[in-house]
Structure 1
């Protein structure tokens, strides 16, 4: 009898606890609030893209219907996706000068800007499936970002860079088309407004893009630890530049592989930074420990100082190329030569390449 009474008491206490939990569920007392679900904000021509971006929360998506939007867009919200409906979704500059109270992206003349702050990078922003056309600055400009993703974007006929990033890490630029921009189609740098050593990009990726009609297809300047692969670079003045200077750490420690770089024979005049450019496939200037492998580099022809298929060229401030590996590339029909090593620098290795001419002789 005594054991049965103890068992009954335990059962009553258990039932009491279950009833208390049930009451809390009904009343909401003591439970954490449910997380807000990501929202989708749809914008149509004639409506403000910036207003939708400003209203969005981290994790939200702003979707642009097909059509033309006359504005610049500034993104400072983490995990935001700005997605068009394909190339027929077009951002172009607004008519007339930017208003005095416009955001900095509009005043600078860029199309889309993704910007963090000195103390906090803006993380995991995605821009995809739209066209950026005719801005006096850059089509897309990113600064202080982490894991920015730019995919299936057409950036064309912009005054300086098509897609550009500085002071950022782990960016991904994939399957974009960059054409007829004033400088590089795709540009990654440590910082454009300050000197300093190359910065670690944390494994940034430039892959599967098409660049044509630009001054340079792809430029990576004073950066390290990234991959440039499977891009098609044609009809630019130069296909690709890997740029360093006397600062430390040196630029380089990257992989350039499986790119198709052909017919980059436009003639571009000299600038304050570079001499005349024509007929350059891949140019390394001030690079160390970069691996250039399994690329196809054909018919880049010119008589400029950096002309050639794969060219190691001492930088204009005297920084040498050191310990780079040029291996298993198909390099043919380039002039002044298929493989070129000009200037000082030791430890550079040319091996397994298919080529017909080199400067100096013996690199093929």
Structure 2
């Protein structure tokens, strides 16, 4: 052995003895892998902010409650399925409410930066995903199907991103964004929430944005629902609106849904504004939505269930064809609403095409 080799070995020995040669903590140290038969909730409980919970392909019978920030829940898309578990007295609040995954903050502290990606939530009594008092929640490539109320829903929250999801055959809306669901109140500023590139089919309404402001609904495909996109407000200020509905493909939303205490029968509705202001509806393709409801038609302005009017909304540059009873319908007496540059064949009142 040469002097150079001996010197090198001595250096290695010193480094090893002092611990300087130990491997740096791996990124894998912040990953929690859950396999079939294991508990997603236990992994969430053990995780720290910034960690990722990787859910392996399989079926998991449970509900998951997230109350800490900056966690990522990531599955394998259609191969990772979460369904309701057996009723247990010790079940978490999410399971007790009948939801699949809940992200829940408090009035004093929002839960920020949670990411839910690439998994399936099916058959829950209420909602597939339910979020309240969150900031920057991201839901991507999730399948939410056959849930008893909403597929993916959020209230009292800001800067949410809902992108590339599939919400199908849910009893109410596929995606639902609201100020609050348990009392009346003015619209909240979502600070730029995004509903984009989703596919919404077979729901009562594809996308509902209720009493919220400052968001965009863009590049979604909505078909086979009773109604496509609903912007819902009431008389409480600030009103719903100040949002953009653009570049969506909305066609054949002709499923029949009975009315309720808030709305009449829904069938054949493309885009409906009720009690909204300062909303821009542009560059959408809205075709073949046909029904006989007061809300039926391609793009419809209709007073809210408490009589609030639509004001100062802009409907422009849309392709709106073969909708019944009209492509464009202003069934409201609100002021400042404008229709321009739309390709359509029939309007109520006449003259807007």
Normalised by the length of structure 1, the TM-score is: 0.89
Using the alignment, how far apart are the partners of 1:256 and 1:211 within structure 2?
Answer: 15
Which whole-Å CA distance do the structure 1 matches of 2:261 and 2:72 have between them?
A: 37
Q: Deviations over 1:33-70 (max 9, x none)?
A: x9996600000010000000000000000000000000
- Separation of aligned partners in 1, 2:185 and 2:262: 16
Q: State the Cα distance separating 1:102 from its structure 2 match.
A: 1.4
Alpha-carbon distance, 1:344 to partner: 1.2
Q: CA RMSD in A?
A: 1.5
Answer yes or no: is 1:167 the counterpart of 2:156. yes
In the TM superposition, structure 1's runs of 4+ consecutive aligned residues that sit over 3 Å from their partners are 34-38
User: How far apart in 2 are the matches of 1:160 and 1:80?
Assistant: 25
The whole-number CA distance in structure 2 between the counterparts of 1:100 and 1:344 is 53
Cα pair distance change 1:66/1:339, threshold 3 Å: same
Query: Equivalent residue for 1:78?
Result: 69
What residue is the counterpart of 1:232 in the other structure? 221
- The aligned length equals 332
Q: Secondary structure at the match of 1:87?
A: helix
Q: Verify the 8 A CA contact 2:77 2:143 in the aligned structure 1.
A: no
Q: Which runs of no fewer than 5 residues in structure 1 stay unpaired?
A: 1-25, 28-33
CA distance in 2 between partners of 1:344 and 1:316 (Å): 14
Aligned residue in 2 for 1:321: 310
Greater alpha carbon shift after TM alignment, 38-47 vs 299-308: 38-47
User: Tell me, which stretches of 5 or more residues in structure 2 are unaligned?
Assistant: 1-17
Match of 2:45 in 1: 54
SS state at 1:242 partner: strand
Which runs of structure 2 are paired with 1:153-164 in the superposition (5 Å)?
A: 153-164=142-153
Is residue 338 from structure 1 mapped to residue 311 from structure 2 by the alignment? no
Deviations 1:102-132 (A, max 9, x none): 1110001100000111101100000000000
1:282 aligned partner: 271
The residue aligned with 1:8 is none
Q: Could you tell me how far apart the structure 2 residues matched to 1:355 and 1:318 are? A: 28
Superposition deviation, residue 101 in structure 1: 2.2
Matches within 5 A, 1:214-363: 214-363=203-352
Q: Deviations for 1:265-302, whole angstroms, at most 9, x for unmatched residues?
A: 00000112111000000000000000000000000000
- Name whichever of 135-144 and 36-45 sits farther off: 36-45
2:45 aligned counterpart, secondary structure: helix
Q: Distance in 1 between matches of 2:77 and 2:303?
A: 42
State the partner residue of 2:131.
142
Contact 2:287 2:321 in 1 (8 A): yes
Instruction: State the alpha-carbon separation in 1 of the partners of residues 297 and 193 from structure 2.
Output: 27
Question: What TM-score, normalized to structure 2?
Answer: 0.92
> Which of 58, 65, 68 lines up with 2:56 in the alignment?
65
Distance 1:138 1:35 in 2: 38
Note if contact 2:269-2:290 (Cα within 8 Å) is conserved in structure 1: yes
**1:90-239 pair list within 5 angstroms:** 90-95=81-86, 97=87, 99-239=88-228
The verdict on how the C-alpha distance between 1:108 and 1:357 changes in structure 2, with shifts beyond 3 A counting, is same
DSSP 3-state at the match of 1:268: coil
Partners of 2:25 and 2:173 in 1: CA distance: 42
User: What SS class does the counterpart of residue 59 from structure 2 fall into?
Assistant: strand
For the residues of structure 1 that align with 2:276 and 2:194, how far apart are their CA atoms? 18
Deviation at 1:86, TM superposition (A): 1.6
Counterpart of 1:54 in 2: which secondary structure? helix
State the distance in 2 between where 1:146 and 1:36 align. 28
Between the aligned partners of 2:221 and 2:315, the Cα distance in structure 1 is 19
